[in-house]
A and B are shown apart, each in its own frame.
Chain A
Amino acid sequence: MRITQGTFSFLPELSDEQIRRQIEYSLEQGWAVSIEYTDDPHPRNTYWEMFGMPMFDIRDAAGILGELASCRKTFPYHYIKVNAFDATRGRESLRLSFLVNRPPREPGFALVRQEGAGRALRYTTRAYADDRPEGERYSGP
């Protein structure tokens, strides 16, 4: 099941050139770009790990693409996303965030039912990948 998260999530995967141009756009707007990764696919997982430092003072996308390449090399089967942070006062939040890497096989989610008092049923989802500990959840094709 293909996870959709962030901007462009219903488009086909962005090519490296498209990623470069998105980063170029973000830098032109004066946003600070950073790279984050995780292997917990749950949609409520908002706390991803940052790869390296947040990158301020970068003028050209080449610097960030280099960092992205090394992130992909370190975590080839993780979810990786590129964030663009707007530091303008009053805004101070992400303006753009999109996935740039995903595991080759995404097993998806199970529906979990919990019996409550008086025949009530509570529903939740659980990622199949979560069965294994962090760092071992995804592997190559």
Chain B
Amino acid sequence: MSAVIEPQPAAEPLGTGPLDLEAAYRQSQVAEVLEGLERDLIGLLPVKSRIRDIAALLLIDKLRSTLGLGAGAPALHMSFTGNPGTGKTTVALRMAEILHRLGYVRKGHLVAVTRDDLVGQYIGHTAPKTREVLKRAMGGVLFIDEAYYLYRPENERDYGQEAIEILLQVMENQREDLVVIFAGYKQRMDTFFHSNPGLSSRVAHHIDFPDYSCDELLAIAHLMLEQMHYQLSPAADGALREYIELRRAQPHFANARSIRNALDRARLRQASRLFERRGKPISRDELVTIEAADIRASRVFAEERAHGH
């Protein structure tokens, strides 16, 4: 049996002299995550600065606690609000990483759930279901997407309330075991927190994700294409810019997610365009290039033309 009980190596004792913040920063390896955040996520300036603030606070807190200046475990539960496709889930993943590197969660995994995973179908079904999810999330981050669905004021016998109560209890009593992140549209989340004051007061950080500007969306598109090993021809670049401007004005625009979908459809058209002329040899350039025509064939342009006439 290799399950040996051995004592944890003791933490490096720190003197009372000046502390090396830089060393602690480097040691925590949190810089990597923050740089990755800066590099891979376009725009989102307020979000990034809030995350840097939180990381700084946690780092300082850690340093203080090595001197015995503990201020109690900081409240880390958060709420991410913003329109669809603004990067809430992506940032939550990074947040889990940061918290893990700073030692505020032990495992650093993210468990993403929605109402269906927490709330049961009949009486007595909700509590075990919620506990099951909480058990899985222990040591990591629990990400509740579209959290406002948990609370349905129009039905006072809704089981969502029960799930909220269990969540509250764990959020309060097992703060060192898990961090809960609530996510959803700004307005509906505001109502949700307004009608659940107990929840609102336990969520320390409210971070709002702004919509992307046209330029940011274009930069995101380039980043996505780069990751998928595609490139835009110069004409396609202009077409994509026009596309984004038109698409933004239309309903159901989901920021980066809409861009991803548009690119996926452009890939589809590029593939069938290349397939049409099979028989002739295809160069590597042709395989990676998306032409203006692939983008201009979109429904968005068709609608625009229809409106124009």
Binding site for B on A (CB under 8 A): 7, 18, 21-22, 25-26, 53, 55, 57-64, 66-67, 96
Q: How far is the CB of A29 from chain B (nearest CB, A)?
A: 9
Chain A residues near B1 (CB-CB < 8 A): 7, 96
Contact B5 A18 (CB under 8 A): yes
Question: Binding site of B, secondary structure by majority: helix, strand, loop or mixed?
Answer: loop
What is the bound-complex CA distance between A67 and B178, given in angstroms?
Answer: 16
Which stretch from B112-120, B132-140, B148-156 is at the chain A interface? B132-140
- Interface flags, B270-284, vs A, CB<8A=1, else 0: 000000000000000
- Interface flags, B14-35, vs A, CB<8A=1, else 0: 0000000000000000000000
Chain A residues near B3 (CB-CB < 8 A): 7, 22, 25-26, 96
Binding site for A on B (CB under 8 A): 1, 3, 5, 106-107, 109, 131-132, 134-140, 174, 177-178
Contact B138 A60 (CB under 8 A): yes
Chain B residues near A67 (CB-CB < 8 A): 135
What is the bound-complex CA distance between A66 and B109, given in angstroms?
Answer: 19
Chain A residues near B5 (CB-CB < 8 A): 18, 21-22
Chain B residues near A62 (CB-CB < 8 A): 106, 138-139, 174, 177-178
Given contacts A7-B1, A18-B5, A22-B3, are A59 and B136 in contact (CB under 8 A)? yes
Contact B138 A66 (CB under 8 A): yes
What is the bound-complex CA distance between A104 and B139, given in angstroms?
Answer: 33
Contact B177 A58 (CB under 8 A): no
- The contact of A66 among B106, B135, B140, by CB within 8 Å, is B135
Q: Which residue of A lies closest to B140 (CB)?
A: A59
- The contact of B136 among A21, A22, A63, by CB within 8 Å, is A63
Chain A residues near B132 (CB-CB < 8 A): 53
A60, A66, A67: residue with the most chain B Cβ atoms closer than 10 Å: A60
Beyond contacts A22-B3, A66-B174: 18 other A-B pairs, Cβ-Cβ < 8 A, are A7-B1, A18-B5, A22-B5, A26-B3, A55-B135, A58-B138, A59-B107, A59-B109, A59-B136, A59-B139, A59-B140, A60-B107, A60-B140, A62-B106, A62-B139, A62-B178, A63-B134, A66-B135
Q: Which residue of B lies closest to A7 (CB)?
A: B1
Q: How far is the CB of A101 from chain B (nearest CB, A)?
A: 18
Q: How far is the CB of B174 from chain A (nearest CB, A)?
A: 7
What is the bound-complex CA distance between A21 and B135, given in angstroms?
Answer: 17
